[in-house]
Each structure stands twice: as C-alpha cells, then as structure tokens.
Amino acid sequence: MPSGVWIHYVIIHAGRNYVILRSGILDAKFTSAGFTFMMSSVGAGSAGTLNGALDELRIFSRALNESDARSAASSNRGVTSRTAVMSAASAVGVSILIRHGLGQRQAASGDGSLNTLLALGLLGLPATVYWGYSGMEHPFFTLVVTATLVSGLADDRRRAISPTTAVLLTIALATRPEGVLLAIWIAFFFTIGYGQLDVHWLCYVAAPIGVVATVLGLMLSLRFAYFGSFVPNTYYAKVVPNTWDRFGAGASYLGRCLLIHAPLLLVASLLYGVASKRSIAPKRPTAFLAGWISLWSVYVASVGGDHFAMFRFFMPALPAAILLIGLLWESVQPHVAPVWTPRFRGGGARRCLSPDERV
C-alpha cells in the first residue's frame, strides 16, 4: 500500500463466498469454508503486521451488495481538500463563537481585547493545530458543541432551553453519538437549576429535551435497522475490552492531556480563587462549563482515551475551558485591574489606586 494515503477496503461475506473491494474497485473474489474474525488479528498476515493506522471500521449485520460497498467507498474518501477546508473552517468558527459568546456577556464599557486574544489562543492549542486540517468530523463536532454551550449560557439567564439550543443538540447528536452527553448535561443542569418540577420546567426544559430525545430515538432506530447495533462499530474496534485496562489507559491519556493544558487550568483556578474570595464568581456559568469539562473528561477516560496523538478526543472540552477563563476574568477585572494596571508617564510607572484607596 502507498505510504501516507488512506485506502478504503470492503470485505463482503455471504455464505462461503467472499468479495474484497479496494477503494470501490473489485480486488478479489474467493470461496472459503470460513474464518474467525478477531480484532487482534486485523492488519496481521504473512507479510507482517500493519504499519499504519486503522480507522472507521464498520461491521454490518448483513452482507452488502457491491453497489452498497462502492457507495460506502465513495462517501469515505479520507482527507481531501474539501474536508480539510471544512475542518479548518470549523476550527476558525469555534474561535469566532468564543469571541461572540464572551462579547455577549461583557459589560458595555468592558475591553474586548482579552476576549479576542482568548479566541485566537484556541487556534494555537496543539489539538487545534494538529487536527484543524485533519478532514475529520471532530472539529465540526467541537464547533457544534461550542455553539450549544454559548447558546446554553444565554438560556441560563432566561432559565429556559431555547429552540436554538434544541436544534444545536440535534445537530450534535447527528454528528457524533457523544452528542447525547451534551443533551444529558444540559437537561440535568437546567433541571437542577429550577429546583422543582413545575409547569414552567415542563414547558421550558422538559419539552425541548423531549423533542431532542425523540430525534435521538429515531436516529438509534434507524442505526439499529441498518447496522444491527445502537452504537457505531468503531466503538468495539477502538475500546479496550478489559475494563481495568481501559480505565488505566484512559486515566493515562487524561493525565497527559491535563499536563499539556496545565496553563489553562492554572489560570482558570487562579481566577476562580480570586473571584470566590471576593464573592463575585459567576457560579452558574462556572458550574455549567466546568460540569461539561468534567463530564467529558470522565467519558474520555472511560473509553480508554485515543490511540491518535495530540488529544483529538479532548477537543470538545477545550473551548469550554477558554470560555470559563473569559467569564471569570470578566467578573474579576473591575476589582483587580484598577489596582494592578500600570500607568506610564515620563518613562516611569506607578501603581493606580483603587477607589477605596483614593483620598
């Protein structure tokens, strides 16, 4: 196989007959008494083991015809210029959403320069740089998750899930199955926020989530009818069967991710400490974003992390961390900036006095 190129293979098994198609073109036909398929043997053969990456493995509960196989190949061409542009546009879109989301909550007199720097900073994170041009669906899923979080922050002020958030949740579910985690978190957060199950909760929380749940049920039914399984077949291909090994690998993956992104966590922790000490921390927005980061981190650890480098699986949580830093700085800035902002005059600098220190 050529180096650095994704190749799509389809193996059709019907009775004792086997058909192999390579990138939609017939490669071989043969008859065999059968063989046992094991994930540990994928890529292994007389020539050695596979020296490369295996992704998007699907196992169907029925034998595809050659027309279905060719259609699958034509819709799975790997990274192309079009998919690379789409993923890059998604990464830039996440940055724009962060700037927009922080700007919506900012006071009219506030300085938006830090928000712009935070939004641009996301584009410089290793995961964004590495996977931004990957041509995979993760940047787009991150874009949808970020849009949902920004919309959810606006909804929290009204204590009602808007139709916009419900539509975004549906798109997240259609993009990746993990979108169900976002729907569960938003439903849980708004339910806890109400504190009681009354008519208002029924109309403005339960009803929108009910619509999303109905769409999810329909999608799962269609998936089961076509694939014979409710979850993607890639789940079984990527997740380590042994539970303890899986959690061990996931914890190691999560630890490396937290270490690489330690500056983000440190800044957020320091800002939250200052805001809490002054009793000015935005508690509900902080809980909303921190809760999503925690839930996603637990999920990533539970599936064993990722076999690819540069923290692809953590991309949906990174914008939430950037948003959290921006929101915490917004609450702290009026109380800290007057004290620590230097003023330069005649080549020197002096500390600005806060209103309480001025005589």
Structural domain spans, the chain: 9-43+54-74, 81-336
The pLDDT value given to residue 359: 40
Helix (H) or strand (E) holding 29: strand 25-31
Q: Which residues lie closer than 8 Å to 320 by C-beta, 6 or more apart?
A: 146, 149, 289, 290, 292, 293
Structure tokens at 199: 């008519």
CB 97 within 8 A of CB 150: yes
> What is the model's pLDDT at position 208?
93
Distance of CA 319 to CAs 103, 153, 154, 169, 292, Å?
A: 15, 13, 16, 17, 11
Question: What is the reported pLDDT for 26?
Answer: 77
In this prediction, residue 347 carries a pLDDT of: 46
Compute the residue count for the chain.
359
User: Which amino acid, 357?
Assistant: E
Beta bridge partners of 11: 20
What pLDDT is attached to residue 210?
A: 93
End-to-end CA distance of the chain: 78
Could you count the other beta carbons within 10 Å of the beta carbon of residue 328? 26
H or E, element range at 218? helix 207-227
Say what the pLDDT of residue 177 is: 85
- The whole-model pTM stands at 0.72
Return the number of other C-beta atoms located less than 10 Å from residue 124's C-beta.
9
What is the per-residue pLDDT across 36-50, written as a single tens digit (0 to 9) for each? 555 555 555 555 566
pLDDT < 70 stretches in the chain = 1-5, 33-51, 55-56, 61, 66, 70-81, 106-111, 227, 231-243, 336-359
- Six-digit token pair at 103? 């700007």
**What is the model's pLDDT at position 332?**
86
> Based on the number of CB atoms within 10 Å of its own CB, is 37 exposed (0-12), middle (13-18) or buried (19 or more)?
exposed
Q: Which residues contact 64 (CB under 8 A, 6 or more apart)?
A: 10, 12, 72
